[in-house]
Amino acid sequence: MAFLELTGVQKRFGPSVAVADFNLAMEAGEFVSFLGPSGCGKTTTLRMIAGFEVPTEGQIMLEGSDITNRPPNKRNVGMVFQSYALFPNMTVADNIGFGLRVRKRPADQIRKRVGELLELINLPDKGGRYPYQLSGGQQQRIALARALAFEPQVLLLDEPLSALDAKIRVALRVEIRSIQRQLGITTVYVTHDQEEALSLSDRVVVMSEGHVEQIGTPFEVYNFPKTPFVASFVGTLNVLPASVVDAGRGEVMIAGQTVRIARRFEGGSGKSVNIALRPEMVKLGDGPEGSNRVSGKVIDVSFLGSIVRMRVAVGGENGPIVSLDEFNEPTLKLPEVGETLTINFPADGPLVLDSAPADPAEVLLAEA
C-alpha cells in the first residue's frame, strides 16, 4: 500500500474549481514535486495534505489511516512556507523546538533535538538569534529544521525558494535534497520553477487549471510530454507553424522547407499543425547523416555563460523563429547577426503538438 495516497480529491471554492480529481500514490521516502503556473491548484492540494483546506470530495490516506478531515494540529505533517513564517518573537532555537514544546516533550530532550537540527542545517551557533538577524536563506533553513524537528511522517514545502536570490536558491535546493535523502522523509514540493522540480524530484506532477496534466519522472515529463501544456511549460520550447505533407512518411513543411518527423502523427495533406522543438535539439551546420536541415537567417546571438543561445528565422527574415543552444566551447565559431546559414535537428527531435499520440515514448522506442 502507498504511504501517502490522494484519491479523487477535489476542491471547489463556491463555483470555481481549484482542484479537480487529483489522484496520487506516493511511496515512503519519495520526493514528489507539484509543478505548474500560479493558480493551477498545486498549493491548494498541498494545503489539503497539511489540513488547512478540507477537500470538497475525495480522500487522503497517510500510512493507512484516513486524515481527510483531521485538523492540521493533529496531523503529523511538517510544512515549510514560502514566506518562512518563522515566529518573530522567538529565538531560532525556540522556533525549532516549538513543535516539541507543544507536544510537552521534556526540556533536555528538546534541547538535544534542536542541537541536532542546527547541526543538520549547518547553523550550529545561531540558536540564540532572532529571525530578523538572519538572512533569507538562513531563515528558510531554520523553517526547514522547525518542520523536521517533531519527526513528521511527511514534509511539505510550499515554494520554499521563490523568495530567495538565484545563487542561494540553487545552493539551498541541493541542501534540501541532501537532507531529504539523509532522513529518507516522504516529501511533497510545490514550485512553479521547472528547473527546481526536474532537478529535485523522483516524480513530478504537472498541473494546470486544477487538472493533473502528467505524472512522471523528470526524464519522462521533459522528454515525453503527454500534453501540449506539459511540452510548453516544462523546459524552453520552439513552437513552429507547419503544414502536413504526408503523415504516413512523417513529412511536414516549415516555411517552405520539408522536415521529417520520427514520431507518429495524424492529419491529411495540407493540414496546419504546430511543431514543438527543444532548443538543445537544434545545432549549427549540417549535422550527422539523416538530420533535418533547414536554412535561416540569424536574428540575434546571446551569450548565457555555459551555453550560447541563437535565434534563427527559418527561411529568411520573416520566417518562424527557432531558438537553438550551443555549448560554449573555445572552438565555437559564433555566426554574425544577419548571416544566412544551415541548422540541423534529428528526426526524433520535434513533436507535433496538435495530434500527439497517447504515449509518445512507446512510439519513439518502436522507431528506434
Partner 1 sequence: MAFATAFLLIPTAKLIIGSFQDSNGQFTTENYADFGSKLVVNAYETSIEISLVTAVGAAIFGFLLAYAVISGGLPKPIRAAVLTFSGVASNFAGIPLALAFVFTAGRVGLLTVFLRGIGFDPYKTGFTLYSKIGLELVYFYFQLPLMILIIAPAIDGLKREWREAAENLGATTFQFWRRIALPILMPSILGAIMLLFGNAFGAQATAYQLTGGLINLVTLLVGDELSGDVLHSPGKGLALAVGMIVVMAIALAGYAILQRRAERWRR
Residues near partner 1, by CB under 8 A: 50-52, 71-75, 77-79, 81, 83, 85-91, 98-99, 102-103, 130-132, 143, 146-147, 150
We find the least distance from the C-beta atom of residue 206 to partner 1, in angstroms, to be 26
Q: For partner 1, give the closer residue by CB, 90 or 361.
A: 90
Query: The C-alpha cell of 316 is what?
Result: 529568411
Question: Are β-strands 154-158 and 186-191 bridged in parallel, bridged antiparallel, or unpaired?
Answer: parallel
Separation of CA 293 from chain center: 32
Instruction: Give the number of residues written for the chain.
Output: 368
Pick between residue 50 and residue 341 the one whose CB is nearest to partner 1: 50
CB 163 → partner 1: shortest distance, Å? 12
Q: Is there a contact between 263 and 352 (Cβ–Cβ < 8 Å)?
A: yes
Give the up-direction half-sphere exposure of residue 193: CA atoms within 13 A in the CB hemisphere.
16
Nearer to partner 1, 91 or 232 (CB): 91
CA dihedral in degrees (241, 266, 285, 307; nearest 10)?
Answer: 70
Q: How far is the CB of 181 from partner 1 (least distance, A)?
A: 23
User: Grid coordinates standing for 25?
Assistant: 500514490
Nearest distance from C-beta of residue 313 to partner 1, angstroms: 48
Asked whether 186 and 153 are in contact (CB, 8 A), the reply is yes
| Cα 168 to Cα 139: distance, rounded to the nearest angstrom | 12
Q: Which is nearer to partner 1, 72 or 136 (CB)?
A: 72
Which residue's CB is nearer to partner 1, number 126 or number 309?
126
Contact yes or no for 41/19 (Cβ under 8 A): yes
The letter for the amino acid at 254 is I
CA distance 42 to 191: 8
| Least Å from the CB of residue 37 to partner 1 | 22
Cβ count within 10 A of residue 282: 24
Nearest distance from C-beta of residue 107 to partner 1, angstroms: 15
Determine whether 288 is exposed, middle or buried from the number of CB atoms within 10 Å of its CB (0-12, 13-18, 19+): exposed
CB of 190 vs partner 1, minimal distance in Å:
14
CB of 101 to partner 1, least distance (A): 8
Nearer to partner 1, 51 or 218 (CB): 51
Of the two residues 86 and 230, which places its CB atom closer to partner 1 in the complex? 86
The three three-digit cell numbers of residue 346, written as one number: 534529428
- Closer residue to partner 1 in complex, CB, 105/260: 105
Q: How far is the CB of 84 from partner 1 (least distance, A)?
A: 8
Distance CA 48, CA 50 (A): 5
Closest to partner 1 by CB, 142 or 310: 142
Joined together, the cell numbers standing for residue 146 give 522547525
Main-chain dihedrals φ then ψ at residue 14, nearest 5 degrees: 60, -130
